Structure 1
Amino acid sequence: MTTRTATAMPDRPEDFRTGEGLRTLLVRLHEAGPGAWEHDPVVAELMAYAAEKYAPLASKHGLDPWEAASAAFDVMRTRAARTAENPWGVITHAVRITCIFEERAQGLLCSVHQARRPHISSFHDPERFSDRENPLTDYHPAFRIIDSIELGKYAPTGEEESDSATQLAMSAAEDAIAFLAMLGWTPETARSGVEHVCGALIKAGSRATAFEALRRDKQVRVLLDIPSGSWHALLRAMLGNPDTDHATTGAGRGVLLRLLIGETIPLLLRDDDLVLALSLAAPGARE
């Protein structure tokens, strides 16, 4: 017949709220052997205290207080907690790290074990297509078709080609300014807007990257004195939509690229959707 030896209880329970009292309790539970944590009545009070103590930390990371208490329980049974000069300090540090990775795991939709790995935690949280004002397909390079005309035909390969490409780009920019002026944009606003878009395009190296950078740069829009709606319409018209469904269309290429590949202003004026969008977006058009 097997008998179970009850955990020897001290005359006065340890004050686990203090570091010394917690160490004494942890050592006693460890020496009592298997089953001590399950049957010792002080353990319930200890875990309730831990849940209350770490509730603010758990709330900060979107967790339940008992999830933090569970993490504390795992640490309390280790040798590091029993022998530490400051047991609560060791436990608090471990619980904080666990909460951080628990929150990270929930964001990454993976296990806590995976979230602790650097090559996994370096990723950003999953993002819905509807989370942003502009669809993710408009600017993310993973959804973009690299236009061979954009990167090949007009990519400079020497001094002569570079000069020719520069002249062609300058001509396209001037035509774009004239095109905007025909649709109700003041020459000053059209020039400042197009020149800034061209500068950002040269710096970014791709239309999608330039579009996203300019869309986020509210300071530039304020400096150019262009309303938000007009600015976004200008960006979409000049740089185009990089969505794969529009890659070979006029909307996908944008005015600047269409002018570069040989389209003319009269041909652009036949694009009813483009003309309507830019006409309605002209600053002061609705006043």
Structure 2
Amino acid sequence: PWAVVTRAVQVSLVAEERAAGLLCSTAQARRRETRDRHDARRFSEYETDVVEFHPVFRTAAAPDGIGDDEPAADAGGSRLTTVAEAADRLIALFVALGWADNTVTCAVDYICSRLMESRNRAAAHSLLRRDQVGRAFLDLDRSSWSTLLRLVLGNPEPGQRGTRAGHGLLALFLCGHPVAEFLADDALVREISESAPAIARRASA
């Protein structure tokens, strides 16, 4: 069911981002004991000396700890983007730039289902890149398929890790980035348009 797939994908992406922040493996990031840990940060990242404000260096607790255990509200009180919403925005972006609606919808659904079964995005990318059956089912040539995987799941090259290209559009949409932001990226727009299957390009011409 789609609800199960989207929830599993969301959990997988969140765990991967947490692992990057905590400098640990994805498996460790999924554990309950890591939920309250903050991302690793260098002392030099703080304008104020960390000793002056970080809770671990305090010598006395506040008189009452009311509210200390309450989860922090999302910045601005905005609702978090779901995986289904992120996938819909991703599909809308590709359709606006020349991809056939049915083709990209089936492709994104297929990618998300494989992502659910994989350890992380890099593993899913490696699996899908060699998936000749899936590519044939979606009727995509090798070039369109490779570009789609790289843009959706992120560039797997080590040098791209931590960059926008490395995160991939699905993760960026999940983090709340709007479609308009990517439509303003001329290089991305050109890459998506030029990677559209030939049939879709002829139909939109």
Please, what TM-score do these two structures have when normalized by structure 1?
A: 0.42
Distance across 2 between alignment mates of 1:286 and 1:190: 13
1:201 matched to which residue of 2? Answer: 115
| Corresponding residue for residue 238 of structure 1 | 152
How far does the alpha carbon of each residue in 1:46-89 deviate from its partner, in whole angstroms, 9 at most, with x for none? Answer: xxxxxxxxxxxxxxxxxxxxxxxxxxxxxxxxxxxxxxxxxxxx
Which residue in 2 is equivalent to 1:169? 83
Kindly tell me the number of residue pairs found equivalent between the two proteins: 135
1:53-92 → structure 2 map (5 Å cutoff): none
Percent identical pairs in the alignment equals 35
Which residue does the alignment assign to 2:125? 211
Larger radius of gyration: 1
**Residue 278 of structure 1, CA deviation:** 1.1
1:269 aligns with 2:183: yes
State whether structure 2 residue 64 is matched by structure 1 residue 191: no
Distance 1:181 1:155 in 2: 34
Q: Distance in 2 between matches of 1:214 and 1:243?
A: 16
Q: Which residue of 1 aligns with 2:94?
A: 180
Q: Distance in 2 between matches of 1:217 and 1:201?
A: 13
Cα offset, 1:224, TM superposition: 0.9
Counterpart residue identity of residue 148, structure 1:
G
- Answer yes or no: is 1:228 the counterpart of 2:142: yes
Where does the alignment leave 5 or more consecutive residues of structure 1 unmatched? 1-145, 159-163
Return the alpha-carbon distance in structure 2 between the equivalents of residues 225 and 286 of structure 1: 14
Q: How big is each residue's C-alpha offset from its partner over 1:27-58, in whole Å with a ceiling of 9 and x where there is no partner? A: xxxxxxxxxxxxxxxxxxxxxxxxxxxxxxxx
Q: Supply the AA of the counterpart residue of 1:184.
A: G
Change (3 A) 1:206 1:251: same
Structure 1 runs of 4+ aligned residues shifted over 6 Å read 154-158
Q: Give the one of 123, 147, 159 matched to 2:20.
A: 147
Quick one: distance in 2 between partners of 1:220 and 1:242?
Answer: 20
Q: Tell me if the contact between 2:99 and 2:201 (Cα under 8 Å) persists in the aligned partners.
A: no
Aligned partners of 2:183, 2:169: CA distance in 1, in Å?
11
